[in-house]
Amino acid sequence: MQIDRELRTGRPQPALPPARGLSFLIAAGGTGGHVLPGLQVAAELRARGAECTIVGTPRGMESKLAPQFGIPLEMLQIGPLNGVPWSRRIKTLVELPASVRQAARLVDRHRPAAALSLGGYASGPLVLAAIAKRVPLLIMEPNAYPGLANRLAARFARRALVGFDAAAEHLPSAEAETVGVPIRDAFFRLPRKHHVGAPLVLITGGSQGSSRLNQAAVAAAQTWAKQGFPGGIRLLHQTGPADYNGVRAAYDALRDATEIACEAVSFIDDMPAAFGRADLIVCRAGASTLAELAAAGKASILVPYPHAADDHQMRNARSMAQAGAARVAADAEWDGERMVREVGCIFGAPGRLEAMEDAARGLAKPGAAARVADALIEEALKRKS
């Protein structure tokens, strides 16, 4: 880890704080935007000799992803509070006392030196238990606008480690530091793409896909097949399992088009490699995705998921657009015609693609997982001293 950080930053790094013998709990539940950064931090802590456990719920992505990372997982029975109908909120409030007692038992059993909240369903109970047990609490907020759990937790947190500068404005009670979003190092190691031949556009709505992005890509491909694209264009499209057969059939019908080559896949196993191949990426605007775009230095067209809590994906996307790294389109406005227009706008203006790539790369923050781990260990050692 030490050598890797020096390679990425280009300068010597101070010795990493020791972690052997320390235990940490990380609440990271629900969506990949919460879970994946938490798993990266957990892996960093474990690499330093610490014990680390993810705290989540059976309904979140952590139940699938934590075992893949080899990270221990503890489950709490709690649902969402934000962005759901009142009937679900009431049920969650009824569940809350029992889930806090569950979390308190976890704290007693694991005896954590510090706890980290990344937001999501499980954060509330763990935060309350940590406060009651006087466990040092830190929060990590990947999004430009913090979720409800972290906004509340910030009042009691020792530090707030944020992915976007804008998030700190909404966490005034905690000492804030912009560290970026913990992602895989493979995205930072991608070389800059030389744009030669027909450009490759990568379309991905996440592992489950996005019907909106899928339908727009098919319609755009049909338009390009009829009207042509200067120099040709290629599409690499992660559809998700639900729409795969339909998208593949639509692309198969365009197989003889000379101006376009389309490849549909249900799921891309090696996303860093796909980023490396792509000239432009069309995707949603989750915090981890945007961090990956910045690390890889990729230009993008962002179509934020409209039902994200507090519309945080639109806030994330606007931060990228303001830096000149992306173009943004509302979900309701995204169709084949808009995709044709946006893609043409980027590839049709000399230097625009490269300028967007430079802007994206300027937003990259390597070593985020290491910095979050440093902060957790520092607060843990303060408690012991």
Q: Are residues 119 and 27 in the same domain?
A: yes
Where is average pLDDT lowest: 73-87, 128-142, 277-291, 361-375?
A: 73-87
The mean pLDDT value for 285-307 works out to 96
Q: Are 286 and 304 in contact (CB under 8 A)?
A: no
Q: Are residues 239 and 305 in the same domain?
A: yes
Q: Are residues 206 and 350 in the same domain?
A: yes
Q: In percent, how much of the chain has pLDDT > 70? A: 92
Q: Are residues 138 and 226 in the same domain?
A: no
CATH of the domain at 18: 3.40.50.2000
Q: Are residues 303 and 376 in the same domain?
A: no
Q: Is the pLDDT of residue 79 over 70?
A: no
Domains in the chain, number: 2
Q: Are residues 232 and 339 in the same domain?
A: yes
Query: Hey, is 36 helix, strand or coil?
Result: helix
Q: CA 271, 141, 160: angle at the middle one, nearest 5?
A: 140
Instruction: Quote the pLDDT of residue 383.
Output: 75
Instruction: Quote the pLDDT of residue 309.
Output: 81
- pLDDT, tens only, 300-318: 999 999 988 889 999 999 9
Q: Are residues 201 and 345 in the same domain?
A: yes
Instruction: Quote the pLDDT of residue 32.
Output: 74
> d(Cα 197, Cα 125) in Å, to the nearest integer?
53
Q: Is the pLDDT of residue 2 over 80?
A: no
Q: In percent, how much of the chain has pLDDT > 90? A: 67
* pLDDT band per the 50, 70, 90 thresholds, residue 29: confident
Q: What is the dihedral of CA 327, 332, 335, 339, to 10 degrees?
A: 0
Q: How many helices (H) and strands (E) does the chain have?
A: 15, 13
Q: Are residues 212 and 135 in the same domain?
A: no
Instruction: Quote the pLDDT of residue 83.
Output: 64
State which residues form the domain around 80.
2-182+367-384
List the beta strands (DSSP E) in 28-126: 51-56, 73-75, 114-117
β-strand pairing of 233-238 with 159-162: unpaired
The mean pLDDT value for 349-365 works out to 96
